[in-house]
Structure 1
Amino acid sequence: MRLQVDHATTYHFDPPMHGVVQTLRLWPTECENQQTLDWQVDAGAAAIGAGFRDGAGDWVETATLMGAVESLTIRVTGTVETVDCGGVLKGLRERVPPQAYLRTTRATLPDRAILDLARSATSDVSETDVLARSHAIMDAVEEAIAYTPGETEHGTTAAEALALGHGVCQDHAHVIIAAARSIGIPARYVTGYLFASEEDGAHEASHAWAELYVPDLGWVGFDASNGKCPDAHYIRVGSGLDADGAAPIRGVLKGAGQETLDAHVSVDQVRDQGAQ
């Protein structure tokens, strides 16, 4: 499937900042699940620093803008060819061992309810069948948390989202990760894009899901918001221990004031013109 992305994020600062440094993790993952055909990241007047590939295999660059900064727009445009690998991440070169993703964070700290969810979901599944245990956790999270935009915030933790019973893809991913780690399955947060038709429901084009490490398979994606493993409708971008660690854009500001954000994201399928 050939997918086209247009993603613009604008930050407004009142009063203007003396300087802004943004860490950008906005490039599609280099793996067998997808091939980048063209991709541009435009930061306007900001200076782009030298890029590097981190231990998780993500490409990272910085954008720096000094002076009186009233606003900064980061725009991503590009086209990616995707294939369905059954949710299995294939061909990613990374140096971080899976065991590193057993570490918990504030957002993924399991409380008693998450521990109970993980144990109940996997009680009838053999401990050696990690894939089946992972699917059971995803199914339990999908049932426990209704996809409801506007009910949670960026800082909502997994425990808070589960208690509320409502949330979005970030909350689903955090609860899956917290539950998986609680029973010894390495898990991480993944950001990317999702192409969804009208029949697929009201899911945002900027998307997130969880990846769990399954012996003999490697990293496998689980998206409780859609009740499935990622397929050709997904573009993978970056990963981390939680939403903050995997954030596509993270900033450091020089100055004090109010920051507001406007974002527009669209993902469209590029049709084969020869088939018209």
Structure 2
Amino acid sequence: VEVTRAGPTWPLGGRAWEAVRTEAFASTSLDLASPVHFLYPTRMTALQPAITAFVAESFQPGRPVLEAAFDVARRIKAEFAYDPKSTEVSTPAIEAFTARHGVCQDFAHIMIAGLRGLGLPAAYVSGYLRTYAAPGKPRLEGADATHAWVSLWCGDATGWVGFDPTNALVVAEDHIVLAVGRDYADVAPIGGVVLGPGDQLIKVAVDVIPADETEPRQKAEAPADHDEHQAFAR
């Protein structure tokens, strides 16, 4: 995989968010990258006054859209606890928001629901995130996993920009896109029904490393009570 996405230019700016909202609703395009597909709520990102109000705190009148969106991602990172045991893949955004706990899927849904509540087009992105070993430690093989973040349409001139509320990041070259949809249900990596007498367990290990890396890696071990199915789905 080759990622050529440029990193953000600081300080973040962009057009006033109200102008972006007006431009989005005026769009007549129906191509795949059109903002019109991502303006409206879904089952997993239903409009909720509490979530909209939370996101609106970052969108003061006239504030640049990129600056405001990053502020939302930063606040989610600061105010919500990452807890893989607190939610399921079917958990709606309002439940994770109320509990202030969740995983990347939940944080993406919360941010998307709030942005759409303000009339801004926001998409759900599923993919991989390259992580880095601690100083002096080898990279762990299989430590990376599927990840989720938000893509916000910031006007025709700027296009789509990714924001990672789990890590309070503007998406750059460390995020690898697998699929884009309106919410998790559009891009779930597995689907269907299995009927049988026994239990099933899915184990997934992912490596995201530079192609020219030559340092040895150690196996990453999942905790004994780690739910492999949910880790894969998220």
Taking a change above 3 Å as real, the CA distance of residues 183 and 172 of structure 1, as seen in their structure-2 partners, is same
Cα distance in 2 for partners of 1:159, 1:262 equals 28
1:196/1:205 contact within 8 Å kept: no
| Structure 2 residue 169 is the aligned partner of structure 1 residue 234 | no
Cα distance in 2 for partners of 1:158, 1:98 equals 21
User: Partner residue of 1:86?
Assistant: 7
1:190/1:210 contact within 8 Å kept: yes
SS of structure 1 residue aligned to 2:205: strand
Taking a change above 3 Å as real, the CA distance of residues 109 and 257 of structure 1, as seen in their structure-2 partners, is farther
SS of structure 2 residue aligned to 1:262: coil
Write the letter of the residue equivalent to 1:160.
E
Q: Of the candidates 80, 88, 95, which is equivalent to residue 145 of structure 1? A: 80
Cα distance in 1 for partners of 2:35, 2:199 equals 36
2:58/2:69 contact within 8 Å kept: no
Q: Provide TM-score, normalisation by structure 2.
A: 0.70
Larger % of helix: which?
Answer: 2
2:7/2:173 contact within 8 Å kept: no
1:191/1:209 contact within 8 Å kept: yes
Deviations 1:237-271 (A, max 9, x none): 101110011223333x4867777341312123145
| Structure 2 residue 36 is the aligned partner of structure 1 residue 99 | yes
- Cα drift, residue 133 of structure 1: 2.3
Identify unmatched segments of 5+ residues in structure 2.
10-30, 216-234
Identity within the alignment, %: 33
Taking a change above 3 Å as real, the CA distance of residues 158 and 95 of structure 1, as seen in their structure-2 partners, is same
Taking a change above 3 Å as real, the CA distance of residues 258 and 157 of structure 1, as seen in their structure-2 partners, is farther
User: Partner residue of 1:118?
Assistant: 55
SS of structure 2 residue aligned to 1:141: helix
Cα distance in 1 for partners of 2:214, 2:97 equals 48
Write the letter of the residue equivalent to 1:102.
L
SS of structure 1 residue aligned to 2:113: helix
Cα distance in 1 for partners of 2:40, 2:107 equals 18
Taking a change above 3 Å as real, the CA distance of residues 178 and 204 of structure 1, as seen in their structure-2 partners, is farther
Cα distance in 1 for partners of 2:197, 2:188 equals 22
Cα distance in 2 for partners of 1:191, 1:176 equals 15
Aligned length: 187
1:194/1:267 contact within 8 Å kept: no
Cα distance in 1 for partners of 2:36, 2:199 equals 37
Cα distance in 2 for partners of 1:244, 1:218 equals 24
Taking a change above 3 Å as real, the CA distance of residues 96 and 111 of structure 1, as seen in their structure-2 partners, is same
| Structure 2 residue 185 is the aligned partner of structure 1 residue 244 | yes
- Cα drift, residue 225 of structure 1: 0.8
Write the letter of the residue equivalent to 2:65.
V
Q: Provide TM-score, normalisation by structure 1.
A: 0.60
- Cα drift, residue 139 of structure 1: 2.1
SS of structure 2 residue aligned to 1:185: coil
Larger RCO, structures 1/2 (Cα 8 Å, 6+ apart): 1
SS of structure 1 residue aligned to 2:91: coil
1:117/1:140 contact within 8 Å kept: no
| Structure 2 residue 165 is the aligned partner of structure 1 residue 165 | no
Write the letter of the residue equivalent to 1:191.
S
Write the letter of the residue equivalent to 1:229.
V
Write the letter of the residue equivalent to 1:114.
I
Cα distance in 2 for partners of 1:132, 1:273 equals 34
Larger % of strand: which?
Answer: 1
Q: Of the candidates 202, 205, 210, which is equivalent to residue 150 of structure 2? A: 210
Cα distance in 2 for partners of 1:248, 1:226 equals 22
- Cα drift, residue 119 of structure 1: 1.7
Taking a change above 3 Å as real, the CA distance of residues 97 and 269 of structure 1, as seen in their structure-2 partners, is same
Cα distance in 1 for partners of 2:97, 2:41 equals 17
Taking a change above 3 Å as real, the CA distance of residues 198 and 112 of structure 1, as seen in their structure-2 partners, is same
